[in-house]
Chains A and B, each alone.
Chain A
Amino acid sequence: MGNYLRKVWAVFAKDVRAELRTKDIFSAMFVFSLLATLVFAFALPGKLMEPKEVAGVAPGLLWVAYTFSGVLGLNRSFIVEKDRGSLEGLLLAPADRSAIYLGKMLSNLTFMVLVEILITPIFGVVFNYSMWNPLLIPVVLLGTLGFAEIGTLFAAMAVNTRAREVLLPVLFFSIMLPVIIAAANATTALLSNRPIEDIAGQLQFIAIFDIIFLALPVLLFELVVEE
């Protein structure tokens, strides 16, 4: 097990090190989420920007910014490997391929969470709406974990196809839609100061989704990356 985890860590550390040098994925995700936030702010009718109304729309828009920027990052994570030929180098290693999946998934999760940490307060300022509620942290983390799990698997599938940039969002959103809805509803409830009991069902649903979609890619990744 220790050996397996060392390989997961090696892939994760390599991705983080390369990203620290280039900032390719992180900067694209952050700039995209920032632009999406500004577009939402300017595109919404003035009435919806009123403090009473904004509570109804802000959480949904926030999750749109999270997910769309996340897809951008997920797409890049395998395209970079594929275009530079290093994906095959990874697949040639005598590691269980699920270790490669988990390493890539963890690096994608890290980049997404970092962007969310930066964009959430900016979103609050732009919409003049308090985004602070400590219970939001587990909701965002569980939702983002689900994105990273399923997105990393689909990104690996899509990277070998010609329409890879299009295929990933199509596959990803078809599966992720229930999680996005649950996470947005939970966020709305929390930011409206409703009790935690109100979101227990949604949290449970997202957690079950996360467990299933952690197990499935671990089993399927080998088949997905082989010809």
Chain B
Amino acid sequence: MTNAAHSVMIRAKGLHKNFGNRAVLRGVDLDLRQGEFVTLLGPNGAGKTTLLRILATLARPTSGTIEIAGIALKDARPTIRGLLGVISHQTFLYEDLNAFENLRFYGRLYDVPELEKRIHEVLEKVGLERRAIDRVRTYSRGMQQRLSIARAILHNPPILLLDEPDTGLDRQASNMLSGLIHELAIDGQERSVLMTTHNLERGLAMCDRVVVLAGGKMVADRAATGLTADELQQFYFDSVSRGR
């Protein structure tokens, strides 16, 4: 998918984030190109979620700069939010509303044109059209996560940020989700995807590039082409121990 000539969709430079005296990110640099799928690996507490939250505009960095699609994050936060689709282990859904109502609500917030048509399209894409009028609380965890994907792609964002999207899913649901994410990454346009996961094998299967975050620093960055699962595991552990 990667093409060096493609424009940079996310450029983070020298990102620092402190919570009180504790430094969670310590000078992180990251580029994500158009159409590129990057898997972000790292042990618990490495700062992966904090990095994604900053990129998603849910938190502000202590210092450093971010550009999303060439726009400085600090200058146009609402505009940039419209370019992002975020999927987390939390679904961001309202359990007492049905799938259609949830998507209609988010569609209104995102100014999605021809909203009803688009809702039917995304529900069909994630295989939930027949459950559109059932309340979300009646859905299984896997179905809720599929609806969460529908919510994230409703406005057709060019960038997807995925924070451990398969947490809490059984193997079957997790496989289905991976297939869906992979499909969405190459769906019609060349979406850029940044995904954190603890599942090295699954992360490798989908990505073009692997980056490793440890102790708040980016400690490794390499192309995934030709990398086997065993090699990735070795690469990951070496990188993490180097970063400590």
Contacts and interface: CB of A to CB of B under 8 A. Distances in A.
A93 B111 CA distance: 10
Interface string A1-18: 001001100110110011
B92 A88 contact: yes
Contact of B109 (A7, A21, A88): A7
A22 B135 CA distance: 12
Interface residues of B, number: 31
Contacts of A126: none
Interface residues of A, number: 25
Interface in B122-164: 135, 151
B60 A226 contact: yes
Contacts of B91: 85
Nearest to B108: A10
A28 B88 CA distance: 31
Contacts of B82: 94
A134 interface: no
Contact of A91 (B58, B88, B101, B110): B58
B49 to A, nearest CB: 11
B92 A85 contact: yes
A197 interface: no
Interface in B89-118: 90-97, 101, 105-106, 108-111
Contacts of B86: 92
Contacts of B81: 92-94
B132 to A, nearest CB: 16
Contact of A14 (B79, B92, B97): B97
A88 to B, nearest CB: 6
A85 B97 contact: no
Interface string B19-54: 000000000000000000000000000000000010
B94 A14 contact: yes
Contact of A85 (B60, B78, B90): B90
Interface in A85-100: 85-86, 88-96
A126 B118 CA distance: 54
Majority SS of interface residues in chain A? helix
B56 interface: yes
Contacts of A10: 105, 108-109
Interface in B173-188: none
A21 B90 CA distance: 22
Contacts of B73: none
B105 A22 contact: no
A96 B77 CA distance: 9
B97 A17 contact: yes
A88 B108 contact: no
B96 A227 contact: no
A84 interface: yes
Given A10-B108, A93-B106, 18 more contacts: A21-B96, A21-B135, A22-B96, A85-B88, A85-B91, A86-B93, A88-B88, A88-B92, A89-B93, A91-B57, A92-B56, A92-B57, A93-B109, A94-B80, A95-B78, A226-B58, A226-B59, A227-B60
Interface of A: 3, 6-7, 10-11, 13-14, 17-18, 21-22, 84-86, 88-96, 226-227
Q: Which 10 A-B pairs rank lowest in CB-CB distance, beginning with the nearest?
A: A89-B92, A85-B90, A94-B82, A93-B109, A227-B59, A10-B108, A94-B81, A21-B96, A94-B78, A14-B105
12 contacts: A6-B108, A7-B109, A11-B109, A14-B97, A17-B97, A86-B94, A88-B58, A88-B90, A92-B56, A94-B81, A94-B82, A227-B60
